[in-house]
Amino acid sequence: MTKYRLARSIHSCLAITLLVLAERTGAQEPVQQKPPSSKTENQASQKGQQPKGSTEQLDLQKAIDDAGNDRAALARNLEAFLKKHPESSQRAQIYRALVEATLQLRDYPRATEYAERLVALRPDDTSITVLAIQLLDKYGDSSGWRRAITYCTRVIEQVRGISTTEKSPRVSSEDWETEKKHDKAALLLVRGRLYQKLNDLPNAQKDFEDSYAMEPSAAAAEKLGELAELRKDPNTAIREYAIAFALADGAKGTSSRRELRYKIGNVWRLAHGSEDGLGDYLLHAFDDAAAVTKAAKPARNAGLKNPYEFMLRKAPDGSPFPFADTKGKVVVLNFWATWCGPCREMEPHFERVAAHFVEQKDIVFLGLNCDDDETLVGPYLDEEKPKTGVLFADGLDRLLAVHSFPTTVILDRAGAIAFRTDGFDPDTVDKVLVEAVERVAHPVEVAPAAAAAATP
């Protein structure tokens, strides 16, 4: 993931601020007074005064200590500290602590104020800039929305300028580019929404179109539908709402299919007088949306012919799984999808067979998910809790020509297909699979004399 991923938890990033402040001020331990090291400090000491820096640190430590676990008191104390020391060298950390405290107090105007102060001090701090954008978007006025647009533009440029040298070695170049594209699409969507609030509809339209082109989403399509309604263009509004309806996945912050159903139904009735024909139109929209998202989704491991060259991902977190790690082992693969009823029925059979070979470490059982919409996989796994490892197929289904589910494939120790079955018979599948795995794992060697006798 790129460090600019907008879905990152900003609250957890801010939550460590108080600890950092405490460490810097020595709040966990009594402050050790150092002997004066200069003539000025000697004079201050002789007069019973503390040097300026020492006084500031003591004041900050007292502000934190006096607040205890009371976030309201902490906010008051830190604000009082800033009035006394407006140029404190620790302003950035204090602003972070104030953002965290005021968010917990649900005092969003103050949280926004301190987030923007921190943005002014740390313009390259993307996480706090994104938080400021979110706060201004939700709680700001027109002037705040304009500032948020400026912040959005800045972060978009920062994302564009990320060098591949910042990429984690655990992230593929393909995933790296996909995450950058995701971030830019999300920022364009936010900026478009801000333009829409300011009634700057041409710029809003452009940002929504650019966001959708970069990463097709229900949110962008819905916004394009809203703008079409404002232009009194019902046909375009119907098309965009239908695409949004087809792409909607119930993610937080997006409209539900029920809400989109009301929107498209209302526009359809205004345009056609009734809802006749709407059902067929929505079915076509589903097909079109599936084609668009499939085309937009990068083909993972494209062009590879050797399964050991494939870099797969663990489900649902997407962490890398080099298939080369299975080299020299017998690998039993169960290809499935969340929408496939027989796949659910197959899973307990697959688990029983895997349990039969659990002591044989050179035999590996893996479930390979083939869903186009990977957001469905996490909830499915939470519900089903499979006992075997689960990966995203990431093109291995394409290499092995898997076109129906469930399909079970056994690869021998050289990576060649040694057994394959499309579908299963629940009465015999356990026995068939156990015998197939045994044959592949422990092939019976034919004696030379027997082989010669068998040769015609």
Q: How far apart are CA 72 and CA 68, in angstroms?
A: 10
The CATH code that applies to domain 1-33+52-140 is: 1.25.40
Residue 444 above 90 pLDDT? no
Q: Quick one: pLDDT at residue 171?
A: 64
CB 127 within 8 A of CB 10: yes
pLDDT digits (tens, 9 = 90+) for 54-75: 788 899 999 999 988 898 999 9
pLDDT digits (tens, 9 = 90+) for 209-263: 999 998 888 999 999 999 999 999 999 999 999 989 888 865 555 678 889 989 9
Q: Quick one: pLDDT at residue 279?
A: 87
For residue 206, give the nearest of 218, 196, 198 by alpha carbon. 196
Name 124's bridge partners: none
Q: Residue 75 is encoded by which pair of tokens?
A: 């906010």
User: What is the β-pairing status of strands 330-336 and 363-369?
Assistant: parallel
Helix (H) or strand (E) holding 333: strand 330-336
Q: Quick one: pLDDT at residue 288?
A: 74
Q: Quick one: pLDDT at residue 181?
A: 87
CB-based burial of residue 143 (10 Å sphere; 0-12 exposed, 13-18 middle, 19+ buried)? exposed
Q: Quick one: pLDDT at residue 413?
A: 95
Q: Mean pLDDT score of the chain, rounded to an integer?
A: 84
**Higher-confidence residue: 339 or 206?**
206
Q: Please, which residues have CB within 8 angstroms of residue 217's CB and are 6 or more apart in sequence?
A: 185, 189, 211, 247
Helix (H) or strand (E) holding 112: helix 108-121
Q: Residue 195 is encoded by which pair of tokens?
A: 């333009």
Q: How far apart are CA 98 and CA 114, in angstroms?
A: 7
Q: Quick one: pLDDT at residue 51?
A: 54
pLDDT digits (tens, 9 = 90+) for 129-150: 999 999 999 999 999 999 999 9
DSSP 148-204: HHHHHHHHHHHHHT--GGGS-TTS-HHHHHHHHHHHHHHHHHHHHHHHHHTT-HHHH
Q: Residue 318 is encoded by which pair of tokens?
A: 């997407």
Residue 369 above 90 pLDDT? yes
Q: Quick one: pLDDT at residue 14?
A: 45
Q: How far apart are CA 278 and CA 371, in angstroms?
A: 27
**Which residue type is seen at 75?**
A
Of 118-122, 165-169, 244-248, which gets the smallest average pLDDT?
165-169
**pLDDT grade for 452, boundaries at 50, 70 and 90:** very low
Residue 190 above 60 pLDDT? yes
The pLDDT of 40-53, averaged and rounded, is: 50
Q: Please, which residues have CB within 8 angstroms of residue 65's CB and are 6 or more apart in sequence?
A: 27
Residue 97 above 50 pLDDT? yes
Q: What are phi and psi of 173, to 5 degrees?
A: -60, -35
The pLDDT of 384-412, averaged and rounded, is: 94
DSSP 353-378: HHHHTTT-TTEEEEEEE--S-GGGHH
Q: Quick one: pLDDT at residue 200?
A: 97
Residue 394 above 90 pLDDT? yes
Q: Residue 76 is encoded by which pair of tokens?
A: 């008051």
Q: How far apart are CA 447 and CA 189, in angstroms?
A: 69
**pLDDT grade for 176, boundaries at 50, 70 and 90:** confident
Name 322's bridge partners: 311
Q: Quick one: pLDDT at residue 232?
A: 94
Return the CA Rg of the chain: 30
CATH architecture of the domain with residue range 307-441: 3-Layer(aba) Sandwich (3.40)
Q: Quick one: pLDDT at residue 455?
A: 44
Q: Quick one: pLDDT at residue 170?
A: 60
Q: Quick one: pLDDT at residue 238?
A: 92
Extents of the domains making up the chain: 1-33+52-140, 216-298, 307-441
Of 140-149, 178-187, 286-295, 369-378, which gets the smallest average pLDDT?
286-295
Residue 177 above 90 pLDDT? no
% of the chain at pLDDT higher than 70: 81
**pLDDT grade for 80, boundaries at 50, 70 and 90:** very high
> 238 in helix, strand or coil?
helix
- Sign of the C-alpha dihedral computed for residues 297, 302, 307 and 310 taken in this order: negative
CB 328 within 8 A of CB 414: no
**Which residue type is seen at 279?**
G
Q: Quick one: pLDDT at residue 392?
A: 96
Q: Quick one: pLDDT at residue 112?
A: 95
DSSP annotation of 1 reads -
**Higher-confidence residue: 397 or 290?**
397
pLDDT digits (tens, 9 = 90+) for 280-302: 888 888 777 766 665 556 678 98
For residue 6, give the nearest of 168, 220, 185 by alpha carbon. 185
Residue 50 above 60 pLDDT? no
Q: Quick one: pLDDT at residue 204?
A: 97
